[in-house]
Amino acid sequence: MKLSRKAMAISPSPTLTIDARAKQLKSEGVDVIGFGAGEPDFDTPEHIREAALKAIQEGFTRYTPSGGIPELKEAICERLKQDNNLDYRPAQIVVSNGAKHSLANVFTAILDPGDEVLIPAPYWVSYPDMVKLADGVPVSVMTDPQGGGKLTAELLQRYLTPRTRAIVLNSPGNPTGQVLSRKELEAIAEVAERHDLFIVSDEVYEKLVYGGAEHISIASLDEAIKKRTVIVNGVSKAYAMTGWRIGYTASLVELAAAMDSIQSHLTSNPNSIAQKAAVAALRGPQDCVEEMRLVFDSRRTYALERLHKMKYLSCSEPRGAFYLFVDAGQALGLSFRGTAIDDTDTLAALMLEHYRVAVVPGRGFGAPAYLRLSYATSMENIKEGLGRIEAFLQELK
Ligand code: PMP
Ligand code: GLU
């Protein structure tokens, strides 16, 4: 069958592939520990689920405005003000089917064929393919993961060309857990200003910062940078709402209107019931967010300590999100029961096959010598899973 060039140019999301494999093994009764996809293991808080039930009971089950209901757009503006001291109007907000969909809208709305987008690596797996789907050219800007995976103005300068159109920022970041400071953001903002670039600021892990790290939205630096920034956020991570599929953008009105039009043709509107649930999440009590953050933090501390003691692996301290990005370079070149470990794909496959632990190999994140472990799973699973990884490593020769 002849498929389009675009379809052939992309590969399936490796995080979702690993997650699906682990879930499938589990459903077959295999005792597998999943450190794969970054998905909070908590239930969506009760008051949010109740809001959804109420929406169903009240018959709120029809098409809504394509870019989201006014009530949700207002709730988003309130949170942006309260959490980041940012002033946006509902006309600047577009609600979509998850932050992933929001990002796809942004790239579709700002890129012409051949436009380049600078993506700091290690990056979240979907950015490059999303850019390609929008006819853009992803340009990977390699940072030093051991140094925290931080993007600097100097690095950016090296990759700028006349075709550069946008910079992707993801702080707190997946997979490294890096959190950019005000000073670091100011330096990046200065480059964006000087070269007239969009900043696509993916802030989905905004609420998940640890050890005194502070989330700062680049849009809050000043009015000029706010105008060239599109904030992308959603309810998946902070409120344990991955399956509800609600994400949003905040941007200039012209861009918001363009994204709304695109979405009106492709998906109509985000799910009406999930929108009501998202209103309850954003306007309701926020202590559930803090409770989950504290649990993530204790898992992070525990897992990091265990990893530090393991041979062949090293990991710098993540300060946000819920991932450990582990350098497994020292294990490459060794062998497991006669199989040579040439890359982390093989390493991850052997761990899954023989020790039933699912981790994501680094290739999809632009850092092939690394493995990503998500600690969005119970402490019990973390203890057991890390024990298995330790036992696996003991067998390497
Ligand atoms: N951005 C990053 C960095 C992510 O890790 C994720 C997780 N899937 C998303 C965006 C998309 O989140 P969602 O579509 O569930 O809102
Ligand atoms: N963002 C999560 C991850 O990186 C969920 C899976 C995905 O959408 O990629 O694992």
Q: Are residues 296 and 277 in the same domain?
A: no
Provide the pLDDT confidence category of residue 150 given band limits of 50, 70 and 90. confident
Q: What percentage of the chain has pLDDT greater than the value 90? A: 92
Q: According to the model, what pLDDT value does residue 21 have?
A: 85
Q: Are residues 72 and 215 in the same domain?
A: yes
Cis peptide preceding 128, ω within 30 of 0: no
Give yes or no for residue 201 CB within 6 A of ligand 1. Answer: no
Token duo for residue 261:
């039009």
* Domain of residue 299, CATH code: 3.90.1150.10
For the stretch 344-376, pLDDT in tens is 999 999 999 999 999 999 999 999 999 999 999
Q: Are residues 177 and 113 in the same domain?
A: yes
Q: According to the model, what pLDDT value does residue 3 have?
A: 95
Q: Are residues 140 and 226 in the same domain?
A: yes
Q: Are residues 309 and 251 in the same domain?
A: no
Which one, of 138, 209, 199, 129, lies nearest residue 172 by Cα? Answer: 209
* Domain of residue 121, CATH code: 3.40.640.10
Counting the structural domains of the chain, the total is 2
How many angstroms is it from 392 CA to the middle of ligand 1? 31
Q: Are residues 168 and 212 in the same domain?
A: yes
Best residue among 10, 11, 13, 16 to mutate for probing ligand 2's pocket (most ligand atoms within 8 Å of CB) is 16
Name the residue range of residue 37's domain: 5-43+288-394
Q: Which atom of ligand 1 is nearest to the CA of 246?
A: 16
Token duo for residue 34:
């999943």
- Burial category of 353 from C-beta neighbours within 10 Å (exposed 0-12, middle 13-18, buried 19 and up): exposed
Q: According to the model, what pLDDT value does residue 246 have?
A: 98
**Least confident piece of the model among 146-150, 279-283, 371-375, 385-389:** 146-150
Going by alpha carbons, the residue nearest to atom 12 of ligand 1 is 99
For the stretch 18-73, pLDDT in tens is 888 888 898 999 999 999 989 999 999 999 999 999 999 999 999 999 999 999 99
Pick the last residue of a domain from 263, 283, 303: 283
Q: According to the model, what pLDDT value does residue 394 have?
A: 97
Contacts of 371 (CB under 8 A, 6+ apart): 313, 325, 326, 328, 344, 347, 348, 359, 360, 361, 362
CB 86 within 8 Å of CB 250: yes
Provide the pLDDT confidence category of residue 15 given band limits of 50, 70 and 90. confident
Q: Sheet containing 137-142: which strands, arranged edge to edge?
A: 93-96, 247-250, 229-234, 198-202, 164-169, 116-121, 137-142
Token duo for residue 211:
């050890």
Can you tell me which residue has the tokens 């504290």?
294
Q: Are residues 72 and 28 in the same domain?
A: no
- N- to C-terminal Cα distance for the chain? 45
Q: According to the model, what pLDDT value does residue 365 have?
A: 96
Which one, of 175, 158, 170, 282, lies nearest residue 218 by Cα? Answer: 170
Best residue among 103, 235, 236 to mutate for probing ligand 1's pocket (most ligand atoms within 8 Å of CB) is 236
For the stretch 171-213, pLDDT in tens is 999 999 999 999 999 999 999 999 999 999 999 999 999 999 9
Pick the last residue of a domain from 255, 283, 311: 283
